[in-house]
Amino acid sequence: MADDKPSRHRSVPSSRIGRLGGFTRLAGGLAGGALSEGARRLANGERPRLDQILLTPGKAKRLTDRLAHLRGAAMKLGQMISMDAGDLLPPELAEILARLRDRADFMPPRQLDKVLAAEWGKDWRKQFRRFEPRPIAAASIGQVHRAMLPDGRLLAIKVQYPGVAQSIDSDVDNVASLLKLTGLLPKELDIDPLLAAAKEQLREEADYRREGAMMTRFGEMLAGREEFVISRLETELTTDRILAMSYEEGSPIEDLASQPQDLRDRVAAELIELVARELFDSHLMQTDPNFANYRWQAKTGRIVLLDFGATREVSAGISQDYRSLIEAGLEQDREKVMDAAIKAGFINPRALERHPDAMRHAVDIVVTQMSSDEKLDFGDRAFVPEIRETVMPIARDRESWHLPPAETLFVQRKVSGTALLCARLGARVNVRGIVSKVLAETA
């Protein structure tokens, strides 16, 4: 873990009133600024759209800055939408949300000390030989500090921002209203399932004792797998709002993008096999594929896995649904794929009735990609615009809308996020071979 992104001290609004005030001021600023901007453009003879006057470059920066300041659900929702719907979002909004993946401010020392004293007592410093006040990472619901115990062991200490856990539902609803206010969210994009998923995931991530238990389970699950590194839980220092674990050195996984092709391919293959084994073998999945949750140890050639707050059980039913869907795809049986997708809840049967040609074309694109005996080139995303153009008419048809089961949304987010990471690395992987192997071993 390292402090790879520039950050700054900013006190986290910890009360509900304080957080609501932040959203209210931002909404008021956007609306008030829109009136003056609209008047200026009209005076110049222009006829601007609402999104053009609501999100000028200055207001876009203000929106990003405010969401980063509030942290918690504000940042998490932005991150989730940017990863889950990135190919459907307008470029302006996609850029704003992408910035939220790369930045977070951290608590000033006085606020940090107040949180630590509340959890560990006023004399908390006596437990350490050294505690670094500047965080090495700052994310959506907490920041991470490096510390050394009296015996010389290095720890990573994750400290939760105050007020985050108590404001999850209201924050998600407020930030969703802000994003809708901008006018940039496509009308055909139904974000309700993302809102529900964000709330559920944040509640779990805010429970640091639960995360510690999941991290330990993952370590046991991957015991003997030398390609991965997982921190060890420091139980005595872990509380509801503090997670203490061994510090594991590493650099951002994206740094591998400049490394030789064979190394990138190997790392991507290991990550893909991990997802397959989470889904079909252990039935335990870390469902947050944020790139920051992976680090790379150049000296050892190992992948560091971080952040297990979003880890959850995968039911036998969901696992079987994915097995049926993938096996049909590998067999290139397109009708079987369609049936499996409907049974799993991915597709509304009404969509097939109302848009049969578009549905079959979309399935054909996906099957062609996944069933090839050649290595899948994740850096070549030429098929994405074709899929988008194919499915957008279906997405605009309200009678075709369908919400997959919540558990499926979590699993699919991990699958899609892993593919995005492989694309970032420009990896070429024999996905068919990896998945076929795991399916055979877990049949």
Q: How many residues does the chain have?
A: 443
Angle between helices 57-70 and 72-84 (to 10 degrees): 120
Closest CA to 417 of 227, 263, 245, 278: 278
CA distance linking residue 241 with residue 206, whole number of Å:
7
Amino acid at 394: I
- Count how many Cα atoms sit within 13 Å of the Cα of residue 375 in the half-sphere of its side chain: 15
Residues 237/226, Cβ–Cβ less than 8 Å: no
Q: What is the DSSP string of 248-277?
A: ---EEGGGGGGS-HHHHHHHHHHHHHHHHH
Catalytic residue (choose from 105, 171, 288, 321): 288
Phi, psi of 120 (to 5 degrees): -110, -10
- Is 84 catalytic? The answer is no
Please tell me the distance from the alpha carbon of residue 441 to that of residue 443, in angstroms, as a whole number.
6
3-class secondary structure for 8-26? CECCCCCCHHHHHHHHHHH
Residue 304 CA, distance from chain mean position: 17
Strand partners, 137: 144
First to last CA, the chain: 37
Alpha-carbon distance of 208 to 167, in angstroms, equals 16
- Backbone angles phi and psi of 312, in degrees to 5: -150, 160
Which positions are annotated as active-site residues?
288
